[in-house]
Structure 1
Amino acid sequence: MTLTTETPTPKPAEARPNAARGALRGSLQQLLAFASLIVIVIFFSIASPHFFTTANIISIFTAATVTGTLALGTTFVIITGGIDLSIGTGMILCGVMAGVFLTYWGWPLWAGVLGAVLFGALIGVVNGFNVAVLKIPPFIATLGMMLIAAGLALVISGTKPIYFKETPDFQSIMNLSIIPGVRFPLGVAVFIVLIVLSALLLSKTIVGRYTFSIGSNEAATALSGVNVVKWKIIIYTISGLFVGIAGVLSASRLSSAQPTGGMGLELEAIAAVVIGGTSLQGGKGSIVGTVIGALIMAVLTNGLRIISVPQEWQSVAVGLVILIAVYLDMLRRRSA
């Protein structure tokens, strides 16, 4: 058996200016996204006196927690040049599994939560295997998983919500206020911790280096001795872990596992990632940008609701944001 070392080939000196320009473009994109967030906040603050209040700001962060958690995980996948359409329905399925573990099977709280998160990782493993080993295009592989997860959530739950009556502490995971006198949910604190951990994972570890390397040039990465198949499976598994965590947070927030829904959340999460500067072509992206994108989506939805825009027009607005985000990504690629 021949052993290979997973060390990317050094970049030539002439590639460094290009890398520097790419980093500068990424920083400018994040700055533009942040400026857009500020403009949206100012607009809704003027449009409604109820927008810029402590209670509503906390509500925005709470709403951003679930979508943002999904976006954190899918950032890794998109940087590799892949896509994951199963994160929305996968989240719903993980919430249902939490209900099965805790309500039907009577597991302890920690075991049920861990089981749901690991079930999300299992979804990621299957996606990674289909993409990396079977060579199924990521769009098709994860589209299939999206439909499978939606169906399994309905089958396992019997098409009925699962309530956590036997484990009232479960709802504290998302809703428990951790600051005396101020409603600051524990779920938001969990989201902040996930942001820090994912940022460190992407920027300071070998996982992050190979994530960018695969997205920049998969063939060259493989030729340099990196086991691309293994690392793709690992990256999709990481995304699955975030799906599992989002499933727990969502079910905890509702105090029930709702087997329907989930479709559409993947588009909001992907839009948040792209708005934050991550390229759909792979090789570029950041966690900071993703968080800004998630906050833009949450502020937009919250603000439109506060100024009494009908639900159907809210959907139109979100759809326009997604189209604009993808178009801006295309412009960035053309200018690269």
Structure 2
Amino acid sequence: MKNWVHILKEQAIFVVLIVLFIIFACSSPEFLTVTNLLNIARQVSILGIASVGMTYVILIGGIDLSTGSIITFVNIITAYLMVKSGINMWLAILISLIVSTGIGFINGFLVANFNMPSLIVTFATQIVFEGLAYIISKGMPIFGFPNAFTQIGQGYLGPIPTPIIIMIVIFAIGGFILNKTYFGRYFYALGGNETASELSGIRVKRVKYLIFSLSGFFAGVAGIVMLARTNSGQPTAGKGYEFKVITDVVLGGVSVAGGSGKLSNVVAGVMIMGILENGMVLLNISSYVQMVVEGIILVLAVGFDCVQKKGLLKA
């Protein structure tokens, strides 16, 4: 009986995904078209890419509020390097990803060495790099990219949009790190009990450096894809994305207390939010109502996690 209960808890997210899919398929004839389904996957690709890094951070009981500002900053510096400085697009992308990874490393360094709450550290870097994005761009959009660059966000590999391919590759890499390397085991260990992890010989500080650096890197990749898709570097491009990513990850069953969660479930969480937003748009539901729904979903997901943790403690 306990095994069945455990299986139901593990698969509940996929049941919700299927039910939501059926509801919108019955509610709107446009929902089930190939064009719309590909559009949903394309829309969630940016959030999906960034959610891999956020999953790692939440697994150790942390939070990364700088994700949105990193996406914005990468938008601006990549656009600036290509358009204003005339740098080759691949070099501009490389520099931008190094910068985004560096921002993540700074977050990890401050959290690990000064015992500062990740909430405060990443909120501070969020403000700093959001401000720097405005300073560099002077509050104006930057555009005029080479066609080869826009193919990253607008191109196709066969019938599949390039952003979807990139998201799948990132999820595969993220899953490999989490499930097939000893680093992944360290992530779960830190989230379960940091003190015990340190006593067992795990270099906790270095693992935190790695986790936040990876979060910055994946947010940077998301920023590149967004820039190529919108074809314009905007100083507000990633504003609010950190909360969308957190919602996707928590909805996917990654515990806010750390130590438990699966990346495969996060994929389902990302798709649920994508289907929900798309379905509400097709049904002409106000964007303000959509914000309310997203907030309620985040509260319910965290509440379910807390109730489940209490149940496990009692057991």
**TM-score normalized with structure 1 length:** 0.90
Where does residue 232 of structure 1 map in the other structure? 208
Unaligned runs of 5+ in 1: 1-20
Supply the distance in 2 between the matched residues of 1:186 and 1:95 (Cα, whole angstroms). 18
Where does residue 5 of structure 1 map in the other structure? none
Where does residue 169 of structure 1 map in the other structure? 148
Residue 281 to residue 323, structure 1, CA distance change in 2 (3 Å)? same
Supply the distance in 2 between the matched residues of 1:207 and 1:96 (Cα, whole angstroms). 32
> What do the CA deviations read for 1:130-164 (whole angstroms, capped 9, x no partner)?
1001211011111111111211111111101111x
Where does residue 118 of structure 2 map in the other structure? 138
1:298 and 2:252 matched: no
1:320 and 2:296 matched: yes
1:215 and 2:191 matched: yes
Supply the distance in 1 between the matched residues of 2:4 and 2:172 (Cα, whole angstroms). 22
Where does residue 32 of structure 2 map in the other structure? 52
> What do the CA deviations read for 1:264-293 (whole angstroms, capped 9, x no partner)?
211111111111111000000111011110
Supply the distance in 2 between the matched residues of 1:108 and 1:197 (Cα, whole angstroms). 26
Supply the distance in 2 between the matched residues of 1:28 and 1:252 (Cα, whole angstroms). 40
Supply the distance in 2 between the matched residues of 1:106 and 1:131 (Cα, whole angstroms). 36
Where does residue 185 of structure 1 map in the other structure? 161
Supply the distance in 2 between the matched residues of 1:106 and 1:187 (Cα, whole angstroms). 25
Residue 76 to residue 106, structure 1, CA distance change in 2 (3 Å)? same
Of the three residues 304, 309, 313, the one matched with 1:333 is: 309
- Post-superposition shift, 1:168? 2.1
Partner of 1:149, secondary structure, is helix
Where does residue 94 of structure 2 map in the other structure? 114
Equivalent runs, 1:277-288 vs 2, <5 Å: 277-288=253-264
Quick one: which amino acid aligns to residue 37 of structure 2? I
Answer 1 or 2: which has greater helix percent. 2
Where does residue 258 of structure 1 map in the other structure? 234
Supply the distance in 2 between the matched residues of 1:151 and 1:324 (Cα, whole angstroms). 33
Where does residue 105 of structure 1 map in the other structure? 85
Quick one: which amino acid aligns to residue 195 of structure 1? F
1:309 and 2:288 matched: no
Supply the distance in 1 between the matched residues of 2:2 and 2:41 (Cα, whole angstroms). 30
- Post-superposition shift, 1:231? 0.9
- Post-superposition shift, 1:332? 1.4
Where does residue 250 of structure 2 map in the other structure? 274
- Post-superposition shift, 1:23? 10
Quick one: which amino acid aligns to residue 93 of structure 2? V
> What do the CA deviations read for 1:183-226 (whole angstroms, capped 9, x no partner)?
52111101101111100100011210111111111001111121
Contact 2:46–2:225 (8 Å) recurs in 1? yes
Contact 2:53–2:216 (8 Å) recurs in 1? yes
Residue 56 to residue 131, structure 1, CA distance change in 2 (3 Å)? same
Where does residue 246 of structure 1 map in the other structure? 222
Partner of 1:162, secondary structure, is coil
Of the three residues 137, 154, 161, the one matched with 2:134 is: 154
- Post-superposition shift, 1:28? 3.7
**TM-score normalized with structure 2 length:** 0.95
Contact 1:78–1:279 (8 Å) recurs in 2? yes
Of the three residues 93, 104, 108, the one matched with 1:124 is: 104
Is the deviation greater in 25-34 or in 118-127? Answer: 25-34
Quick one: which amino acid aligns to residue 149 of structure 2? F
- Post-superposition shift, 1:173? 0.5
Where does residue 17 of structure 1 map in the other structure? none
1:75 and 2:51 matched: no
Quick one: which amino acid aligns to residue 22 of structure 2? I
Q: In the comparison of the two structures, how many residue pairs are matched?
A: 312
Supply the distance in 1 between the matched residues of 2:134 and 2:190 (Cα, whole angstroms). 36
Supply the distance in 2 between the matched residues of 1:137 and 1:220 (Cα, whole angstroms). 19
Residue 148 to residue 30, structure 1, CA distance change in 2 (3 Å)? farther
Partner of 2:114, secondary structure, is coil
Residue 100 to residue 25, structure 1, CA distance change in 2 (3 Å)? farther
Quick one: which amino acid aligns to residue 227 of structure 2? A
Quick one: which amino acid aligns to residue 100 of structure 1? Y
> What do the CA deviations read for 1:20-78 (whole angstroms, capped 9, x no partner)?
x9998775444111110111111111111011110000010001100111111110010
Contact 2:71–2:237 (8 Å) recurs in 1? no
Supply the distance in 2 between the matched residues of 1:26 and 1:55 (Cα, whole angstroms). 37
RMSD: 1.7
Contact 1:174–1:188 (8 Å) recurs in 2? no
Residue 35 to residue 135, structure 1, CA distance change in 2 (3 Å)? same
